[in-house]
Amino acid sequence: MFWPKTCITWIMRMLLFVCLFLLLFPVYGQVDEIKQKSEEHARQTHRTKSGDGNGGDGEGFFLFDLMFRGIPMWQQYKLSADRTRYPSLVSVELFAQGAANPPGYYFLWPRMRGNWGIFSTDFRMNYLLEQTSDGSFIHIRTNDWQVLQLNLITSRYLTLRLGNGMMNEAFGGRNSFYEWSVQLGVHNSMQKRMVWIEYRHAHDFSSGAWPRLELSAQYQHGVIEYGAFRALLSAGVVYQNYYRSVPVFGMQGGIVFRFY
């Protein structure tokens, strides 16, 4: 009965160790390199499409096609379940989070997610800011929309979510890519203490490029509870790798608002 509390404590210790470990490694200026990679990919993709007319569109949402027949019954079953066993089954979540790798790198993630039974949809803007030698900032931004996420597990102590969507680069070649994600949450029965691990993978089927890989982990701790409103503080780590050659990482923190 107490294994979720033990897991959360163990994962919190691991996150603290990773944060201290990351401080040993300096991060060098790479925003311009990411922009260059994006522009190079846009040029290569244009040449490929001009040559054979095959952009590789239409791939990626196979999972939902395979499960189409069972989804209505599954959704009905979820929505009829006891909400006290999983309070956020129908909810809206707002995230005000960021990360830093001092002295020069910072992340910002304004984000919103809606949950309705087995379905979720999740939109965020991913800002990467770099402080240059003269003290000014340069940045890149991606718009990341997990259009349809499937909540495979929504139990008292575990959440497992698989999603499909797109990543749009608001810089460089302004490319758009298919992106899938996996989220695993370990929490107590009332979801006041939670550990989330999230993996994102953006992929271009036409060229085989991996525009971004992302792995993050965070602990969320409830601090305010008033009626249908919840507020949780968060802390953790994030790692991103652009075009398999430009790694960035940082320690993250912020606040999460939930409306049930």
b/e sequence 175-187, b meaning 16+ C-beta within 10 Å: bebbbbbebebbb
Is residue 1 very low, low, confident or very high in pLDDT (cuts 50, 70, 90)?
very low
Residue 53, pLDDT above cutoff 60: no
The pLDDT value given to residue 202: 96
Q: How far is CA 49 from CA 17, 142, 171, 175, in A?
A: 46, 23, 21, 14
Is residue 168's pLDDT more than 80?
A: yes
Tell me the pLDDT tens digit for each residue of 198-221: 999 999 988 888 999 999 999 999
Neighbours of 80 (CB within 10 A): 9
Residue 34's pLDDT band, with cuts at 50, 70 and 90, is confident
- The Cα-based distances of 78 to 117, 154, 160, 196 in angstroms read 6, 9, 14, 22
Query: What is the per-residue pLDDT for 31?
Result: 80
Asked if the model's pLDDT at residue 11 lies above 70, the reply is no
Q: Does residue 151 carry a pLDDT above 50? A: yes
Q: Which of 16-30, 75-89, 173-187, 233-247 has the lowest mean pLDDT?
A: 16-30
Domain containing residue 213: CATH number: 2.40.160
Predicted confidence (pLDDT) at residue 173 exceeds the cutoff of 90: no
Tokens of 16: 């603290």
Split at pLDDT 50, 70, 90, the class of 24 is low
More confident residue, 81 or 250: 250
Mean pLDDT of the chain: 84
Reported as a pLDDT band with limits 50, 70 and 90, residue 55 is very low
Q: Kindly report which listed range (129-138, 178-187, 204-213) carries the lowest average pLDDT score.
A: 129-138
Instruction: Give the pLDDT band (50/70/90) at residue 161.
Output: very high
- Domain of residue 122 covers 3-259
pLDDT above 70 covers a percentage of the chain that reads 80
Total structural domains within the chain: 1
pLDDT of res. 208? 87
Between 30 and 90, residue with greater pLDDT: 90
Higher per-residue confidence, 143 vs 39: 143
7-21, 58-72, 218-232: least confident range: 58-72
Indicate the pairing of strand 137-154 with strand 229-242.
Answer: unpaired
Beta strand 212-226 with 105-116 is: unpaired
Whether the predicted pLDDT of 57 surpasses 50: no
Confidence of residue 29 (pLDDT cuts 50, 70, 90): low
